[in-house]
Structure 1
Amino acid sequence: MPVNETLSQYSDWSYTTATAIYVLALVFFLIEQSFGAKGRSAAERTRARQLVGAGAPVDVAEVTTDVPPARRGRAERIGRMGAALTVLGVLLHLSALVLRGLATHRVPWGNMYEYIMAVTFIAVVTWLYVIRKFPVRHLSGFMLLPIVILMFIGGTALYTVAAPVVPALQSYWLWIHVTAAIISSGVFMVPGVASIFYLVRNAHERNPQRFARFAPKLPAADVLDRIAYRATVLAFPLFTFGVLCGAVWAESAWGRFWGWDPKETTAFVAWVVYAAYLHSRATAGWRGTRAAAINIVGFAVMVFNLFFVNLVTTGLHSYAGVG
């Protein structure tokens, strides 16, 4: 069936608008991070509790931060506006995916532009769920930053006009294998960022002079650790399922389950790293900093797999569709 150019154009507009809204939300979240009450350090909160416990006639808000209460209130309202903008961006992001699929009469992840569109959508949805469960909304700017960068690259350097997929991808396995890869890759972005913050926070707790201006504004290390662990526990089985489905598809398409193609090799390395992370969490001696470092390595391998393997190396999985 021919491509519906009108729906394709609407999809492109939705994608561009969603990216712009994410940028605006990012700015709002950075304002909240800088001036909101969540930016108080643990030492300041402890001092406030001690003063109140001693019966000191002071305003707790005044001793917990140098930022005036009125400005903190405005910053938190701006943070809530950022969250509302993020929800709006997600709706437009979803519209871009759906319209792209309707325009091409297939699943909307047949090339790198569409793949990045889908991965970033899953990452934002996952983060919205996280900020409902944990007090980390003020960190949303740092989570949106890599998403905005990916969407900018996808919409410019990797943009591909709407078209049918190449014959090798015209299979029902495109629904199963690639969908599992997209969901797991999007979710894996959250524990990657959370683990980086964990290392920063943990380093500050060991030596208060390290990252002294930024680390106190982060949540407690155990909160960041729980976010990273729970997100990885969710994504790892999906990633495993995707790798297994890819092997079955490879046997059907190429006559072998595994051939150490660059994509297959990198996916296997990522699987081993994340399996090592989950194993390290079950081993008391490797929890905390070491486990977080392993998670960050896994995140780096996933990013390497997304860009270098798809765009630079040549193999049976070279379906980047860059043009």
Structure 2
Amino acid sequence: MQIDENLARYSDFAFKSAIVVYAIVVILLIWQYATTRANQVAERELAMAGGPGSGPGKIEAPVARPLSERLGNMAFSVLVVGIVLQVLSIVLRGFATHRFPLGNMYEFVTMATAAATVVGIIFLREQRYRSMWAFLLVPVILLMFLAGTVLYADAAPVVPALRSFWLPVHVTIVSVGSGVFLVSGIASLLFLYRIRQPEGQESANILGTIAKRLPDARTLDRLAYKTTIIGFPLFGAGVILGAIWAEAAWGRFWGWDPKETCSFIAWVLYAAYLHARATSGWRDTKAAWINVAGFVAMLFNLFIINIVISGLHSYAGLN
């Protein structure tokens, strides 16, 4: 079918706009961090100076919402706009190409990062989690930037090998699972950082301030566990469905192709994380490091296997 160039341009514009909006959200969140730190310094200096008197006849001024809270609410509202734009870019790409928009790495990364932000909206909507958005959006922006530059592919029909009803089933499940694992990996990394800054520990540096803004270590650990529980069966189902598709396309379920092998390794690492998370003596930092290793294996599978190592799954769409 003929490609709708107008819809393809609108899709690209929505994608680029989403990156800009996410960058604005990160700026607002950094501003929120800076404002919170400035307020803490001002309060500490005021306390050391004895503070204003509150004697008889003193009229208390109405308390306005802190600037940091207003910035956080603003960032969350702008974030929703960015997610809508990113989802719109996927939908428009599909209509422009008259196919499911998962035929190359650009489209895969777009879908995976969109899944990560949608999962983030579901799990990080509570006020106590909102400080995590700055750390989740940074890798999302980096991945989207790579997708829109190095990995970008013009809207076009897919190669004949991908013209199958298995494409939307297999690749959608894998991309969504990858997006869930992105949230899980960030949660474990923040847990490993947060556990070094115990709750209530006073710190005058910026790292201490950032740690205080994050949820406590136990909450981050539970978040990583809950999201992995969702991503693990999704990714496992994607691997199984991929094997079924391989049998239909290549006449065998499994051939230890580099993509298949690395996907299996990642799946085993996440299985090991879930097992370690439930095993006494392996909880906390050891289990979190296994989760981070699984996330690294996913990134290796996405970039190194797809771009550097050739195999039967070499459909990156790169020139």
Aligned to 1:278: 274
Q: Distance in 1 between matches of 2:290 and 2:211?
A: 21
**Residue 18 (1) aligns with residue 23 (2):** no
- 1:262 aligned to 258, 262, 266, which one? 258
Counterparts of residues 95-244 of structure 1 (less than 5 Å): 95-133=88-126, 135-205=128-198, 212-244=208-240
Q: What is the deviation of 1:213? A: 5.0
Aligned to 1:34: 34
Q: Residue type of the partner of 1:16?
A: K
Q: Residue type of the partner of 2:4?
A: N
Contact 1:251 1:257 (8 Å CA) reproduced? yes
How many pairs align? 297
Larger mean Cα displacement after TM superposition, 276-285 or 93-102: 276-285
Aligned to 1:64: none
* TM-score, reference length from structure 1: 0.87
Aligned to 2:247: 251
Q: Distance in 1 between matches of 2:127 and 2:182?
A: 17
Aligned to 2:60: none
Aligned to 1:6: 6
Q: Distance in 2 between matches of 1:18 and 1:250?
A: 35
Q: Residue type of the partner of 1:279?
A: H
**Residue 75 (1) aligns with residue 68 (2):** yes
Aligned to 1:87: 80
Q: Distance in 2 between matches of 1:199 and 1:184?
A: 23
Describe the superposition over 1:193-249 as per-residue Cα deviations: whole angstroms up to 9, x where unpaired: 01011111112239x689545433321111101110000001101001000001111
Distance 1:134 1:235, change over 3 A: farther
Contact 2:33 2:210 (8 Å CA) reproduced? no
Q: What is the deviation of 1:299? A: 0.6
Q: Residue type of the partner of 1:152?
A: F
Q: Distance in 2 between matches of 1:134 and 1:182?
A: 28
Describe the superposition over 1:20-55 as per-residue Cα deviations: whole angstroms up to 9, x where unpaired: 101001111122233349x98xxx9xxx9xxxxxxx
Q: Distance in 2 between matches of 1:104 and 1:147?
A: 25
Contiguous gaps of at least 5 residues in structure 1: 49-56, 58-68
Contact 1:32 1:138 (8 Å CA) reproduced? no
Describe the superposition over 1:111-168 as per-residue Cα deviations: whole angstroms up to 9, x where unpaired: 0111111111001111111222461212211110000011111111111110000000
Larger mean Cα displacement after TM superposition, 254-263 or 26-35: 26-35
* TM-score, reference length from structure 2: 0.88
Contact 2:102 2:168 (8 Å CA) reproduced? no
Q: Distance in 2 between matches of 1:34 and 1:224?
A: 22
Q: Distance in 2 between matches of 1:298 and 1:165?
A: 30
- RMSD of aligned C-alpha atoms? 2.3
Q: Residue type of the partner of 2:242?
A: G
Describe the superposition over 1:272-299 as per-residue Cα deviations: whole angstroms up to 9, x where unpaired: 0000010111112211111111110011
Aligned to 1:312: 308
**Residue 293 (1) aligns with residue 286 (2):** no
Task: Describe the SS at the equivalent of 1:286.
Answer: coil
Q: Residue type of the partner of 2:247?
A: E
Describe the superposition over 1:43-87 as per-residue Cα deviations: whole angstroms up to 9, x where unpaired: x9xxx9xxxxxxxx8xxxxxxxxxxx97x8112211111111110
Q: Residue type of the partner of 2:92?
A: L
Aligned to 2:59: none
Contact 1:185 1:235 (8 Å CA) reproduced? yes
Q: Residue type of the partner of 1:75?
A: S
Contact 2:22 2:141 (8 Å CA) reproduced? yes
Task: Describe the SS at the equivalent of 1:157.
Answer: coil
Contact 1:31 1:79 (8 Å CA) reproduced? no
Q: Residue type of the partner of 2:281?
A: G
Contiguous gaps of at least 5 residues in structure 2: 48-53, 55-62
Q: Residue type of the partner of 2:180?
A: V
Q: Distance in 2 between matches of 1:307 and 1:235?
A: 20
Aligned to 2:57: none
Task: Describe the SS at the equivalent of 1:203.
Answer: coil
